[in-house]
Structure 1
Amino acid sequence: MILRFAILCALFLFIEFYSYQAFRTLIKLRWVLVSYQVISLLLLIFIIYSFSQVDRSVGQTRQFMFTTGLMLLVYVPKIVMTLILFGEDIFRIGASILNYFIYNAPRKEMMPDRRKFISQIALGLAAVPFLSLIYGIFEGKYNFKVVKQTIFFPDLPDAFDGFKITQISDVHSGSFDNPEKINYAIDLINEQEADMILFTGDIVNTHATEMHPWLDTFNRIKDYKYGKFSVLGNHDYGEYVIWPSEKQKDENFQEIKKLYGDIGFKLMLNEHTYIQKGDDKIALIGVENWGVNFKKVGDLNKASQNVAQDDFKILMSHDPSHWDAEIKNHPKNFHLSLAGHTHGMQFGIEIPGYFKWSLAQYIYKQWAGLYEEAGKYIYVNRGFGFHAYPGRVGIMPEITVIELKKGKNVA
C-alpha cells in the first residue's frame, strides 16, 4: 500500500514538473507562474481528499463523478504536455552526449535550451483533450445517436426478412441529471420503426432506488409487436459496494430484477423464448452476466436447452468478452449476439466507415459496433448512459436499430 502510494506520488510529481516546464518556457511573469503552482497544488489536494472520502457502502455519487471529471480535465492535458516535453528532453540529452563526446562543446553549451515552439505545440495539443472533455461533460453525454445496421444471414427464416430490432444498453440511471434530455432519448427510441426492443443490461450503477425517479420516463417506451426483452449487466448485481449484510444485497438484487418488469421488459435469466412470425420462428436467448473479468453467472447451456442447433438464434449477453470465450464456437450456433458493457470507454475517435479508436480496444476485442467471424455476428452497443466520468467524448450514447436481411453479406 505504501509502495503504491509512493509510486502514485512520484507519477503526479513527474507530470506536474513537466507540465510546469511548458508554462515556464512561455510565460516569464513570476506571479502567473506562482498562481499556476498554487492552483495546481490546491486542485491536487482537493482531488486526493475527495477520493479519500468515497464511501464504499454508498458507491458512485455526484461528488465522485464530479471529482473524476475534474481529475481527467486537469491531468489528461498535463499528460499530453508531459509526453511532448519528456520527448524533447530525450532529444536534448542525446544532443548533449554528442556535444560532449564528439564536438567537445564547452560545458555551458552541452545541453540545448528548451525550445519555445515545442512548449507552444505541447500547450496547443493539450487544449484539444481539455476542450473535448469539457464538451463531453456538458453536451456529449446526452448527444444520443441512432445507429442503423443491416446484417445478412443466408439461413434467416423468410418471414423475418426485414425484421427490425431496437437495442439499448447500459442505462446507468443513477448517473442521470437532466430529465429533458432523457425524455428526448425516449422519444428517439419511440420514433424507430422496429418490431422488437432488447435491453442488454445495467439499468443502474448499484442501487435499485437509482431508477425510481426514472420509472415513468422509461415507461414511455412504446409497446412492440414482438415484445420487450432484457438481460442483466454486471452492475445490476450490486457487486461494487460494501453491503451491511448479504440479506440487504440480495434484497437490492431482487428489486433490480423487478425494475425491468416495472418498465415493461421481460427479464430473461438464462432462458429462451421463441418469436413467432407467420409460419416461421426465431429463438431469442438471454443469459445472465458472464465476463472474462466480471461476474460469471451466465449459463449458455441452460439458456439454450431444447433449442435446436439449426434454429435461428439471437443471444443477449451483456459483456462482449463472452463471445470469444464461449459463444462463437458453441455447438448451438448463435447467429447474432447483442452486448454492451464497454461504453467505448466514453472516450475515443470515430469517423464512421473509416476510423475507430478508443482505449477500450486494448481491453476488449469487440468493443463497439458490428463484428463478424465465420458467419456469426456480435453487435456491441456503445451504451445509453454514462458511468464514473460524467461525459462522453467521441463515443456517443447509442440507440441501435438492427435490420435482419436474408441473403449473403455483400460487404
Structure 2
Amino acid sequence: MILRFIILCTFFLFIEFYAYQAFRALIKLRWALIAYQLISVLLLVFIVYSFTQFDRSVGQTKYTMFTMGLMLLVYVPKIVITLILFGEDIFRIGASILNYFMYNAPRKEMMPERRKFVSQIALGLAVVPFLSLIYGIFEGKYNFKVLKQTIFFPDLPHAFNGFKITQISDVHSGSFDDSEKINYAIDLINQQESDMILFTGDIVNTHAKEMHPWIDTFNRIKEYKYGKFSILGNHDYGEYVTWSSEQQKDENFQAIKNLYGQIGFKLMLNEHAYIHKGNDKIALIGVENWGVNFKKAGDLNKASANVAQDDFKIVMSHDPSHWDAEIKDHPKNFHLTLSGHTHGMQFGIEIPGYFKWSLAQYIYKQWAGLYENLGRYVYVNRGFGFHAYPGRVGIMPEITVIELKKGNSVA
C-alpha cells in the first residue's frame, strides 16, 4: 500500500514538473507562475482527498464522478505536455552526450537549452483533450446516436428477412442528471420501426434505487410486436460495494431484477425463448453476465438447452469477451450475439465506417460495432449511459438498430 502510494506520488510529481516547465517557458510573470503552482497544488490535494473519502458501502456518486472528471480534465492535458517535453529531454540528453564525446564542447554549452516552440506545441496540443473533455461532460454524454447495421445470414428463416431489432445497453441510470435528455433518447428509441427491442444489461451502477426516478421515463418505451427482452450486466449484481450483510446484497439484487419487469422487459436468466413469425421461428438466448475478467454467472449451455442445432439463434450476453472466449466457436453455431459492457471506454476517435480508436481496443478484442468469425457475428453496443467519467468524447451513446437479411454478404 505504501509502495503504491509512493509510486503514485512520484507519477504526479513527474507530470507536474514537466507541465510547469512548459508554462515557465512561455509565462515570465512571477505572480502568474506562483498562481499556477498554487492552483495545481490545491487541485491535487482536493483530488487525492476526495478519493480517500470514497465510501465502498455507497459506491459511485455524483461527487465521485465529478472528481474523476476533474482529475481527467487536469491531468490528461498535463500528460500530453509531459510526453512531448520528456521526448525533447531525451533528445537534449542525447545531444549533450554527442557534444561531450565528439565535439568536446564546454560544460555550459553541452546541454542544448529547452526550445520555446516545443513548449508552445505541447501546450497547443494539450488544449485538444482539455476542450474535448469539457465537451464530453457538458454535451457528449447525451449526444445519442442511432446506429444502423444490416447483417446477412444465408440460413436466416424466410419470414425473418428484414426483421429489425433495437438494442440498448449499459443504461447506468444512477449517473443520469438531465431528464429532458433522457426523454429525448426514449423518443429516439420509439421512432425506430423495429420488431423487437433487446436490453443487454447494466440498468444501474450498483443500487436498485438509482433507477426509481427513471422508471416512468423508461416505461415510455413503446410495445413491440415480438417483445421486449433483457439480460443482466456485471453492475446489476451489486458486487462493487461493501454490503452490511449478505441479505442486504441479495435484496438489492432481487430489486434490480425486478426493475427490468417494472419497465416492461422480460428478464432472461440463462434461458431461451422462441420468436415466431409466420411459419418460422428464431431462438433468443439470454445469458447472465459472463466475462473473462468479471462475474461468471452465465451458463450458455443451460440457456440453450433443447435449442436445436439448425435453429437460427440470437444470444444476448453483456460482456463481449464471452463471445471471444466461448460463444464464437461453440458447436451449436450461435449466429448473432449482442453485447455491450465496454462503453468504448467513453473516450476515443471514431469516423463511422472508416476509422475508430479507443483505449478499449487494448483490453477487448471486440469493443464497439460489428465483428465476424466464420459467418458468426457479435455486435458490441457502445452503451446508452456513462459511468465513472461523467462524459463521452468521440464514442457517443448508442441506440442500435440491426436488420437481419437473408443472403451471403454484409452491407
User: Same fold per TM (> 0.5)?
Assistant: yes
Q: Which residue of 2 aligns with 1:250?
A: 250
SS at match of 1:150: strand
Matches within 5 A, 1:1-400: 1-400=1-400
The one-letter amino acid of 1:142's match is Y
Q: Deviations over 1:284-315 (max 9, x none)?
A: 00000000000001000000000001100000
Tell me, in whole angstroms, the C-alpha distance in 2 between the residues paired with 1:353 and 1:115: 40
Q: Deviations over 1:120-165 (max 9, x none)?
A: 0000000000000000000000000000000000000000000000
What is the identity percentage for the equivalent residue pairs of Structure 1 and Structure 2? 87
SS at match of 2:288: coil
- Offset of 1:232 from its aligned partner? 0.1
- Conservation of the 8 A alpha-carbon contact between 2:150 and 2:410: no
The one-letter amino acid of 2:207's match is H
Q: Deviations over 1:37-78 (max 9, x none)?
A: 000000000000011111000000111000000000000000
- Conservation of the 8 A alpha-carbon contact between 2:173 and 2:204: yes
SS at match of 2:59: coil
SS at match of 1:225: coil
- Offset of 1:353 from its aligned partner? 1.4
- Offset of 1:332 from its aligned partner? 1.0
The one-letter amino acid of 1:285's match is I
- Conservation of the 8 A alpha-carbon contact between 2:275 and 2:282: yes
- Offset of 1:352 from its aligned partner? 1.1
Q: TM-score, normalised by structure 2?
A: 1.00
The one-letter amino acid of 1:107's match is R
Runs of 4 or more off by more than 3 Å in structure 1? none
The one-letter amino acid of 1:384's match is F
- Offset of 1:410 from its aligned partner? 4.8
SS at match of 2:90: helix
Query: Structure 1 regions of 5+ residues with no counterpart?
Result: none
- Offset of 1:331 from its aligned partner? 1.0
The one-letter amino acid of 1:312's match is F
Q: Deviations over 1:325-373 (max 9, x none)?
A: 1101111110000000000000000011111000000000000000001
The one-letter amino acid of 1:88's match is E
Query: Structure 2 regions of 5+ residues with no counterpart?
Result: none
Tell me, in whole angstroms, the C-alpha distance in 2 between the residues paired with 1:388 and 1:354: 28
The one-letter amino acid of 1:324's match is D
Q: Please, what is the CA RMSD of the aligned residues?
A: 0.5
SS at match of 2:166: strand
SS at match of 2:295: strand
The one-letter amino acid of 1:306's match is N
Deviates more, 1:337-346 or 1:24-33: 24-33
The one-letter amino acid of 1:64's match is T
- Offset of 1:119 from its aligned partner? 0.3
Tell me, in whole angstroms, the C-alpha distance in 1 between the residues paired with 2:185 and 2:352: 21
Kindly tell me the number of residue pairs found equivalent between the two proteins.
411
